[in-house]
A and B are shown apart, each in its own frame.
Chain A
């Protein structure tokens, strides 16, 4: 046991997801082989360097993934499984689109108001699950799944009422966000017109706040304590019910922000083509990133990278890009297993370290006068 325990800890933390990635790639390859597809061609495309435009797409997709995963991670730290991020971000994005489309306030005030509305609606939608849990004991897993379904139906229903009729198009969407309230992108490459969402900084700020609140504040301590042992939390004086409601509100509030980069940087309206499924991707990425703000960022980039790189598969190799969904899914499975293996190994190491550190002491614990 000569190695530094801290270095070892970091090595284990990095080793687990790498191991999981390799396993996921092997499983995906197996599927490709069984289907008789060109394994080398697929990996050749996916693992090639992205195009300039590809880099921008990856950053943009990672931005929304990141927000979604942070929303999920807030719940995870409390041992709450907020599956409802998907419904929360959609109903919040719809609300924000309606508010922003109305343009009650000028310029960025309008943007701020719409984002505030999104946070409040997302929080409220998640808060329903929190309240049900503490008052009626309904599992948040069940209630958030139900609320996803309700959110889908509710948004579809309200969208028909709020939609502007655009002649010559069969797309239903809310009123467009006024030009002055949109958030401009950042140009990375001079010759590529595509830009990175300006709201990428929102994602960074949310990530920092998440890290700070969870690790540095007493509130964050209470939250982590409740997550790791509810019984110990109660005995330590934490009001667990209150914590459940608050963390669901926070999780939902962040979920409300997920659609904002899309709304103010790309779509400028909420319509039937607004990107869906981000909430579920967030669950996978939060697991992959181990609820750590940097880990989640890496996970979000990885998922976005796989998405982007698989797009041309259909054209190049006539293979459905959905093959990366298999990769992403197996990553989640393998990573959960790998983390558990590493965790147990870590605990064993720790126990061994404690045992060996104490072994030099006298054989019996003398009575200290």
Chain B
């Protein structure tokens, strides 16, 4: 697919011009025919599915990777960017998704670290930081410790770091992934400030509504190539999504309620003390999930979601409170016994908890089901049984793979996840614990996974759903509970709740 570029812009407006950029990794074409013009004083969004090549493209622009072909022009001059230092020299700065800040240092120290030559490390630097902070409305106090700052403020420190180094082109990689809705609004305010001062902001995201609310122009990337660049004012998020995937946007929303009154999971007064003392990781958690019900847990990451999942799965020993499954008390039961009792588990981090990356798919089918048919025959592995069932999963769940002897590592994230979903649904579980089931997967796989969860729900499956994607949470869930600092708070009805309401509850803003 050849990229088309809007050629009407005058060349002096264009600060970054990418022409025919190509980059190949062994076996994978990450980018080809990428053509983008980024103009001064605009927010330019780059959208695409996971794996479409956005990250590679940004690494090329930031000098982390060298392109195999194509040219990069910055302010009309062709440049060769072979290190981030070159990029910074050319006025390009990058704010990574994962912050690179030293918690135990002050904002000032973090900002000058590695840029001591610019304005020293003392008062001159402090003055400069305050000057930048005021100019762009970043609201940063140079002498505060980073560990005392919230997520939004840390991100602003990262932006300030880039500005301090003289960048006039700022790349933000999925900046909103770590923010709650209110913080997103603040960030967008900052970005508008930046562009009004004549800077160019490159905004990478796959959240289309956000993109449309902040960007001036949007470039869509699919399968490594630019599809088109369009003004944000002229497209809808649905149109963008269709450009991204070439098909219709999936919808998480469930149809009619299938909730029954049969209790599947019942948690009473579950408390999990912190290992090193301090605030309990979970405190007096009460929750009930019925057959045919999806219960969604909303919360800012790190508020006890992982601990809740691990406690229910028996991966964390916990003696306070009770957990029962289908009326059966689970206290003291091992993870394996819980799985055998009918728990399926889609882990949050599939590479760490869901797969043996260097094992073939059929061996991964056995993982977590080592004691059950068709994988085993007494104490022996039933190789042919496991292989046959793996083939069934590959077919039914549309896992794109050349065969079941392929190593799990070689599959794309979405296909790995579909395999996990198929495996966890395989033994007719009565409860599915789904932690971020569609995180980092492409839209096609996302729709497929949603469909499988919805189908199982109709058949009476109870689901504990943890997700940072509020649309997914609202769309799929029958009930939403908010978790904050290890406590389950308000209950929301997904039919009436908005992401903003959830966002307030998640940060405790309305408490």
Contact = CB atoms under 8 A, between A and B. Distances in A.
A367 B400 contact: no
Interface string A203-234: 00000000000011111111011001101101
B26 A351 contact: yes
A225 B358 CA distance: 10
A236 interface: yes
A365 B335 contact: no
Nearest to B314: A237
Nearest to A355: B27
Nearest to A345: B26
B336 to A, nearest CB: 3
Interface stretch (B286-294, B297-305, B441-449): B441-449
Interface stretch (A129-137, A308-316, A356-364): A356-364
A290 to B, nearest CB: 13
Contact of A352 (B26, B357, B442): B26
Contact of A237 (B247, B250, B338, B347): B338
A364 B246 contact: yes
Contact of A236 (B245, B368, B448): B368
B462 to A, nearest CB: 19
A351 B367 contact: no
A235 interface: yes
A313 to B, nearest CB: 42
Interface string B334-378: 111111100001010100111111110001001111110000100
B312 interface: no
B222 interface: yes
A271 B221 CA distance: 74
B239 to A, nearest CB: 15
A235 B359 contact: no
A354 B28 CA distance: 10
A348 interface: yes
A366 interface: yes
Interface string B233-252: 00000000000011110100
A363 B336 contact: no
Contact of B28 (A220, A231, A355): A355
B398 interface: yes
Interface in A315-350: 347-350
B410 A347 contact: yes
B444 A348 contact: no
A153 B25 CA distance: 56
A235 B368 contact: yes
Contacts of A219: 379
Contacts of B381: 215-218, 220-221
A237 B370 contact: yes
Contacts of B358: 228
Given A221-B366, A228-B358, A351 B410 contact: yes
B313 A364 contact: no
Contacts of A220: 381
Given A235-B315, A354-B406, A367 B250 contact: yes
B26 A367 contact: no
Contact of B356 (A216, A218, A232, A363): A232
B402 interface: yes
A218 B248 CA distance: 44
Contacts of B409: 347, 350-351
B74 interface: no
A239 interface: yes
B65 interface: no
B274 interface: no
A217 B379 contact: yes
Contacts of B359: 224-225, 228
B312 to A, nearest CB: 12
A351 B411 CA distance: 7
Contacts of A218: 370-371, 376, 379-381
Interface in B222-280: 222-223, 245-248, 250
A363 B243 CA distance: 12
B419 to A, nearest CB: 13
A237 B334 contact: yes
Nearest to B378: A218
B379 A368 contact: no
A353 interface: yes
A365 B349 CA distance: 23
30 contacts: A217-B379, A217-B380, A217-B381, A218-B370, A221-B366, A221-B370, A224-B356, A225-B359, A229-B357, A234-B353, A235-B313, A236-B335, A236-B336, A236-B367, A237-B334, A237-B336, A237-B368, A237-B371, A349-B27, A350-B409, A352-B28, A353-B406, A358-B401, A363-B222, A363-B223, A364-B247, A365-B400, A367-B447, A368-B444, A369-B451
Interface of A: 215-222, 224-225, 228-229, 231-232, 234-239, 347-358, 361, 363-369
Which 8 A-B pairs rank lowest in CB-CB distance, beginning with the nearest?
A365-B444, A352-B27, A237-B336, A357-B402, A236-B368, A364-B246, A235-B353, A237-B335
Given A216-B380, A365-B445, 9 more contacts: A217-B381, A221-B370, A228-B359, A232-B355, A232-B367, A235-B353, A363-B222, A365-B400, A368-B444
Interface of B: 1, 26-28, 222-223, 245-248, 250, 313, 315, 334-340, 345, 347, 349, 352-359, 363, 366-371, 376, 379-381, 398, 400-402, 406-407, 409-411, 414, 442-445, 447-448, 451
